[in-house]
């Protein structure tokens, strides 16, 4: 990858711009709520794009392109099965409880609905998960710097850490959100032309399908087992990805929910995931397709794990190097850097909020000033990035970024979704049941992971193991929570107001025009998603 002066200038301008946003918004950060939740004042179109962009890190860009090369169009299941239905469910059914209860974090909801022990377990596990996830983006950015400037991995990781630390510590969540909106448009501008150029040069969809292994150009028709690149049948996809992992992430992960909580009212908070869902439907065109094109051009991609430049995750950088001339290469590389910093900043802003409100404030300093907690939030930002530097090296041992990510989610998000599902929709779920169920579900995932590593359980692919681990963790948590709840005392109904389905919650606007009504938008999005599944069946 030979970058020219103009490419370096484009990248330099981007860095100056994102740092400038941080400095410009610093004066608006007066209280801790400004720093952690943007004062709950952001319009829904901005929170919607930020909701989507917070998920557009290395996982989405390099990871999905890498999975496109590894599994073909079946990677689109992560969008049309593994994202859209859960985003709609979050908007219609769960956001009224999150926003209406005026919580500052997802673990805080668990405290209100259940007890302090459940909140503490979730807060600590979420803090661990976010720094592990942030390391993915650092690792991906380091690869780009290594290709572009021939820097070693450590130097590249340190540069990415310093830039993200600067703008998130200065402007807090508001800085992160506005940078995420900028990064969304950069990602589309940087990668959509790449897909168009690639698909035209390779002879359209028919030409691409002809150059790929059997089964790489179909979503569902090969899930019966013949020529199935992902190695998992339709039941595993629907249960492990479409239900457990998908709902566990989009409905309980504070990284994305934090963006909705920054909206100016409940109606705007409900529209946030719906606004994000519309472009999400079409994102396989700029993430999955480039990976498939890269595999067609470089068939040996992913076949030599010892060569870091031939990992599946390198599909997108290799395609940039092939098709983009100087100038366009700078835009493409800037889009990649934007995605990495967006993902890293999203994880770090979620981490500093949970650490400050749910860990530090509750267990170390309960009655300090608002300014004190804002200072701790900034220190937590630095601490989270520092720990993320070390977790970046864990990613190098994984077959691909997406395999690593889904492994983490199967431990933390899968059992958590069972806890939330019972907590929000079953008044009889008890504090003891929730805590014991959550711990048992997490331990079940750990046991399955160890047995797989010891060769006692076998799966056709790493991703198949992740899907089944998630299903097992969810099921164990779900059943244990129910069993313990039947023999322990539930909380009084008056303490559950606004926290459980069937109780009073804050209502949205009395009258909304049809295109702002969450149910109308959700139905339209669902129809478009079904059409996409049928087209690529």
Question: pLDDT tens, 449-502?
Answer: 999 888 888 887 777 888 889 889 999 999 999 999 999 999 998 888 888 887
Which residue would you say has higher pLDDT here, 37 or 330? 330
Residues 6+ apart with CB under 8 A from 525: 84, 88, 274, 277, 278, 281
SS3 assignment, position 361: helix
Q: What is the mean pLDDT of residues 139-147?
A: 73
Would you identify the CATH topology of the domain 5-535? Sodium/glucose cotransporter (1.20.1730)
130 torsion bin: left (phi>0), alpha (psi -120 to 50), beta (else): alpha
Residue 441: predicted pLDDT: 95
> Which residue, 87, 118, 78, is CA-closest to 418?
118
Residue 31 has pLDDT above 70, yes or no: no
Q: What is the mean pLDDT of residues 360-367?
A: 85
Most confident of 33-37, 102-106, 173-177, 506-510: 102-106
Share of the chain residues as helix, strand and coil, in percent rounded to the nearest 5: 75, 0, 25
Residues 6+ apart with CB under 8 A from 115: 431, 434, 435
Residue 21 has pLDDT above 80, yes or no: no
Residue 397 has pLDDT above 70, yes or no: no
Residue 52 has pLDDT above 90, yes or no: no
Q: What is the mean pLDDT of residues 257-263?
A: 81
Residue 200 confidence class, pLDDT cut points 50, 70, 90: very high
Residue 399 has pLDDT above 70, yes or no: no
| Stretch among 220-229, 245-254, 402-411 having the lowest mean pLDDT | 220-229
Residue 398 has pLDDT above 70, yes or no: no
Which residue would you say has higher pLDDT here, 40 or 407? 407
C-alpha pair distances (Å), 323 with each of 1, 4, 124, 191, 241? 11, 15, 44, 11, 33
SS3 assignment, position 456: coil
The answer to whether 359 touches 315, Cβ cutoff 8 Å, is no
Residue 474: predicted pLDDT: 93
- pLDDT tens, residue by residue, 411-431: 888 899 899 999 989 999 999
Residue 429: predicted pLDDT: 95
Two structure tokens written together for 11:
């990248």
Which residue would you say has higher pLDDT here, 356 or 33? 356
Residue 44 has pLDDT above 90, yes or no: no
Tokens 């691909």, located at residue: 400
Residue 453: predicted pLDDT: 82
DSSP per-residue string spanning 28-89:
G--SHHHHHHGGG-B-HHHHHHHHHHTT-STIIIIIHHHHHHHHGGGGGHHHHTTTHHHHHH
* Helix 401-425, helix 116-149: angle, nearest 10: 160
Two structure tokens written together for 137:
């983006």
> Which residue, 9, 19, 31, is CA-closest to 169?
19
The answer to whether 260 touches 273, Cβ cutoff 8 Å, is yes
Residue 113 has pLDDT above 60, yes or no: yes
The answer to whether 394 touches 384, Cβ cutoff 8 Å, is no
Residue 217 has pLDDT above 50, yes or no: yes
Residue 508 confidence class, pLDDT cut points 50, 70, 90: very low
Most confident of 81-85, 100-104, 377-381: 81-85
| Stretch among 130-139, 261-270, 354-363, 506-515 having the lowest mean pLDDT | 506-515
Tell me what the pLDDT averaged over the chain comes to: 82
Give the percent of the chain with pLDDT over 90. Answer: 19
- Can you give the pTM of this predicted structure? 0.79
SS3 assignment, position 263: strand
Most confident of 59-73, 135-149, 173-187, 429-443: 429-443
Residue 194 has pLDDT above 70, yes or no: yes
Which residue would you say has higher pLDDT here, 398 or 453? 453
Q: What is the mean pLDDT of residues 435-439?
A: 96
Residue 59 confidence class, pLDDT cut points 50, 70, 90: low
DSSP 8-state assignment for residue 378: H
Tokens 């952690």, located at residue: 36
Residue 30: predicted pLDDT: 65
Which residue would you say has higher pLDDT here, 405 or 280? 280
379, burial (CB in 10 Å: exposed 0-12, middle 13-18, buried 19+): middle
Which residue would you say has higher pLDDT here, 171 or 76? 76
Residue 38: predicted pLDDT: 59
């Amino acid at each position: 990858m030979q970058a020219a002066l103009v490419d370096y200038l484009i990248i330099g301008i981007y860095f100056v711009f994102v740092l400038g946003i941080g400095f410009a918004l610093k004066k608006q950060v007066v209280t801790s709520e400004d720093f952690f939740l943007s004062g709950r004042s952001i319009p829904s179109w901005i929170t919607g794009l930020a909701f989507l962009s917070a998920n557009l890190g290395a996982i989405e860009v390099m990871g999905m392109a890498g999975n496109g090369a590894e599994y073909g169009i079946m990677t689109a299941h992560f969008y049309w099965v593994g994202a859209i239905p859960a985003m709609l469910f979050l908007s219609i059914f769960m956001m009224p409880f999150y926003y209406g209860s005026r919580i500052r974090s997802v673990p805080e909801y668990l405290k209100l609905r259940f007890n302090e022990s459940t909140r503490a377990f979730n807060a600590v596990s979420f803090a661990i998960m976010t720094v592990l996830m942030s390391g993915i983006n650092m690792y991906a950015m380091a690869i780009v710097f290594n290709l572009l400037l021939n820097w070693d991995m450590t130097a590249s990781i340190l540069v990415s850490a310093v830039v993200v630390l600067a703008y998130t510590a200065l402007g807090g969540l508001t800085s992160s959100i506005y940078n995420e909106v900028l990064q969304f448009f950069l990602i589309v501008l940087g990668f959509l032309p790449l897909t168009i150029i690639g698909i035209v040069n390779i002879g359209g969809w028919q030409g691409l399908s002809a150059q790929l292994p059997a089964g790489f150009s179909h979503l569902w028709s090969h899930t019966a087992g013949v020529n199935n690149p992902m190695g998992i049948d339709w039941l595993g996809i629907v249960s492990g990805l479409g239900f457990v992992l998908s709902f566990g992430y989009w409905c309980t992960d504070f990284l994305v929910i934090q963006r909705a909580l920054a909206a100016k009212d409940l109606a705007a908070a409900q529209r946030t995931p719906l606004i994000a869902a519309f472009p999400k439907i079409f994102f396989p065109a700029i993430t999955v397709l480039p990976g498939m094109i890269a595999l067609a051009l470089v068939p040996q991609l992913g076949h030599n794990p010892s060569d870091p430049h031939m990992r599946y995750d390198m599909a997108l950088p290799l395609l940039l190097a092939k098709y983009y001339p100087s100038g366009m290469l700078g835009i493409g590389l800037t889009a990649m850097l934007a995605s990495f910093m967006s993902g890293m900043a999203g994880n770090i802003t979620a981490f500093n909020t949970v650490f400050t409100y749910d860990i530090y404030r509750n267990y170390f300093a309960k009655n300090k000033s608002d300014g004190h907690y804002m200072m701790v939030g900034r220190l937590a930002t630095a601490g989270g990035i520092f720990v993320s530097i070390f977790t970046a090296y864990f990613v190098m041992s994984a077959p691909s970024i997406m395999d690593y990510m889904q492994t983490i989610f199967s431990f933390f998000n899968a059992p958590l979704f069972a806890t939330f599902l019972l907590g929000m929709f079953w008044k009889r779920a008890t504090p003891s049941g929730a805590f014991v169920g959550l711990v048992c579900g997490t331990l079940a995932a750990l046991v399955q992971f160890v047995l797989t590593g010891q060769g006692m359980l076998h799966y056709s692919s790493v991703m198949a193991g992740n899907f089944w681990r998630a299903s097992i963790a969810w099921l164990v948590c779900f059943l244990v929570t129910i069993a313990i709840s039947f023999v322990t005392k539930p909380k009084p109904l008056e303490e559950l107001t606004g926290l459980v389905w069937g109780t009073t919650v804050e209502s949205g606007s009395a009258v909304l025009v049809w295109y702002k009504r969450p149910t109308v938008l959700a139905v339209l999005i669902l129809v478009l998603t079904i059409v996409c599944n049928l087209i690529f069946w």
